Amino acid sequence: MTRGLRGITLFLALLAGCATSSGGGAGTSSRFKQADQKFPPPNNEFSDEFERGFVQNMNTHHQAGGMAATSGNMDQARAEWATEAQALADFSDKFSSSDWSVSFRYNAAKYFLYARQEAKAVEQAEKLLLNPDANDTSRAMAAKLAYGATNGLANAKVQAGQLEALRLPLWDQRKNTPLAPRTPPGEWRRIVDYADTYVKLAASDPDNKKAPNERFLPSTPSQISLSAAQVEFAFDNMEDARGRFARNFEAWPGEIDLGAVKLYLSTFQAQKDMPGYEAALPRLKAQVADSVAKATEPKAKESLAKVMEQLTLLDVEAGYNQAKRLLEAGQFAQAGTAFEAFATANPANPNVSLALYQAAIAYEKAAQLDKSAAVREQLMSRFPDTKEAESAQLMLAAQRAKQGKGEEAIKLYRSFLGKYPDSAMRCGAVFNLGRELDQSRKATDAAAIYTTFGTDARCAKEDPNAAANVLFRAGELFEKSGKRAEAKKAYQACADLAGVTDTVWKVNQAEARKRAKR
């Protein structure tokens, strides 16, 4: 979750009496006091007796509110601020040509916010945004106040069950829930609008030149910009959200946020745009790497380093997934190359053995058997204790047998049985070894292996028909070699075998029984 929207805290420091410099703007008369004017003003600022009386009355409530807040009586403080805010609003409505109408309008909004009357605060900020006498500084301050107050309204309505909560699940957390883009409802839409207005004016906001603990509202322009992207993301407007995240990263590269990065990348996944996702990763990595190099504050540097670490992991994962997609698409040679490249570039990654395994399969499907064999030999050498190496050795043995390299196949099968005596694939290896020995005309060796397979309880249970087959064949081979005792044992084992279903092998079982007695 990024900073700036969820759980936003309006740190309403008591800024009464805090002086700031006034600013002018193009298109406004310099006589109007703007939102950054020192407030409250002294009575001698006013020549009109009515205005002096108004200011004196307003100051009475202002001071009473400050004193109540200092003594811990916040209910009384808010009541005084609400009275003060209403007076300021009424003055600005009645005397819009007054030099102080802009300043008073802003402070009406601010003190309504202090009083926790957010709706009235937003109303006053809106009027200020539409006031042609307000300069960019005043509009920036009003937009930020409206944004903060609307956040407060949104949170209150969510708690009251009047507005749906903002949810930001990453794509893998959505469990393939289809997208349903829609316009954000109520306050969420207004938060986006105020955030957009503020970001355009943020350079004119004097608050941004202060330390965070001295600001009226602590959110930075980057955080406010991100909050609008989050709202659009929450309501499945992925393209809009993606553009907002990207613009945020460009505008404030030193504040790139890990949560925002994850949401940004999730917009590609949500639209099943994996090429876009994979293209975005190196761009972001380069951007963050540059920001890490330029960062001077330890906290900022540490935060960016964490983003870089996550992006590196995601980039690695993307490389592997790209190779998988090539394999699934039938682009076997390209997939093999991609898997090998992944293994070379990420030697410490836990998926290297799997990548090599997949590369060998891809090359074999591409009929590049020498490459396939070389990758399997590499896998067996580098990762002998992995399941991938175990399977790769059997596959290489089968591949060698298919190529007519029987001696190599026999050697690989024997090696497999020596290295992996408890393998779940042991029975298959024994069967294949016997068959390869048989085809190589090593009769007694083949018969011995066949007997091992057929008399192994696990192997016989897995495939009784195959067991009957090889035991009968073992009896024949022993008999032809003059090993009558071994032949009898093989025939008898075949005859005694349970679970045979194949009609041919049932007949052969009967024949084996006769031969065993002979």
Contact between residue 472 and residue 494 where contact means Cβ atoms under 8 Å apart: yes
Residue 437 pLDDT greater than 80, yes or no: yes
Taking phi over 0 as left and psi of -120 to 50 as alpha, with beta for the rest, 269 belongs to: alpha
Cis peptide before 275 (omega within 30 of 0): no
- State whether residue 420 is helix, strand or coil: coil
**169-213 per-position pLDDT tens digit:** 988 788 778 999 999 999 999 999 999 999 999 999 999 998 888
Nearest CA-CA partner of 340 in 328, 327, 397? 327
340 burial (CB, 10 Å; 0-12 / 13-18 / 19+) is: buried
- Rounded to whole angstroms, the Cα distance separating 80 from 23 reads 29
* Band of pLDDT at residue 23, cut at 50, 70 and 90: very low
Point out the least confidently predicted range of 1-5, 81-85, 130-134, 238-242. 1-5
pLDDT at site 295: 87
Residue 163 pLDDT greater than 60, yes or no: yes
Which letter does DSSP use for residue 182 in this model?
Answer: -
Q: What's the token pair of residue 10?
A: 């309006």
**498-514 per-position pLDDT tens digit:** 999 999 888 988 999 99
- Rounded to whole angstroms, the Cα distance separating 120 from 451 reads 91
pLDDT at site 324: 87
- Rounded to whole angstroms, the Cα distance separating 429 from 453 reads 10
- Rounded to whole angstroms, the Cα distance separating 268 from 274 reads 7
Pure H helices in 441-502: 443-455, 457-462, 464-480, 484-496
- Rounded to whole angstroms, the Cα distance separating 183 from 235 reads 7
Is the dihedral angle over the CA atoms 139, 105, 154, 10 positive or is it negative? positive
- Rounded to whole angstroms, the Cα distance separating 446 from 215 reads 86
pLDDT at site 396: 95
pLDDT at site 516: 87
- Rounded to whole angstroms, the Cα distance separating 427 from 55 reads 97
**What is the reported pTM?**
0.68
- Rounded to whole angstroms, the Cα distance separating 194 from 168 reads 20
- Rounded to whole angstroms, the Cα distance separating 513 from 199 reads 92
* Band of pLDDT at residue 434, cut at 50, 70 and 90: very high
Q: Which residue has the tokens 């916010």?
A: 113
Which amino acid belongs to residue 136? D
pLDDT at site 144: 97
Count of residues making up the chain: 518
Quickly list DSSP for 22-39: ----TTS-TTS--TTS-S
**245-303 per-position pLDDT tens digit:** 999 999 999 999 899 999 999 999 899 898 898 888 889 989 889 998 998 889 888 89
- Rounded to whole angstroms, the Cα distance separating 333 from 338 reads 9
Contact between residue 379 and residue 357 where contact means Cβ atoms under 8 Å apart: yes
Residue 43 pLDDT greater than 80, yes or no: no
Residue 21 pLDDT greater than 60, yes or no: no
Torsion, Cα of 389, 395, 397, 403 (10° steps): -140
Residue that wins the pLDDT comparison between 12 and 264 = 264
Quickly list DSSP for 314-374: HHHHHHHHHHHHHHHTT-HHHHHHHHHHHHHH-TT-TTHHHHHHHHHHHHHHTT-HHHHHH
- Rounded to whole angstroms, the Cα distance separating 140 from 199 reads 8
Ordered by where they begin, the domains of the chain are: 331-412 (1.25.40.10), 424-518 (1.25.40.10)
Residue that wins the pLDDT comparison between 168 and 342 = 168
Which letter does DSSP use for residue 98 in this model?
Answer: S
Point out the least confidently predicted range of 103-107, 278-282, 332-336. 278-282
Is the dihedral angle over the CA atoms 159, 164, 166, 167 positive or is it negative? positive
Average pLDDT, the chain: 89
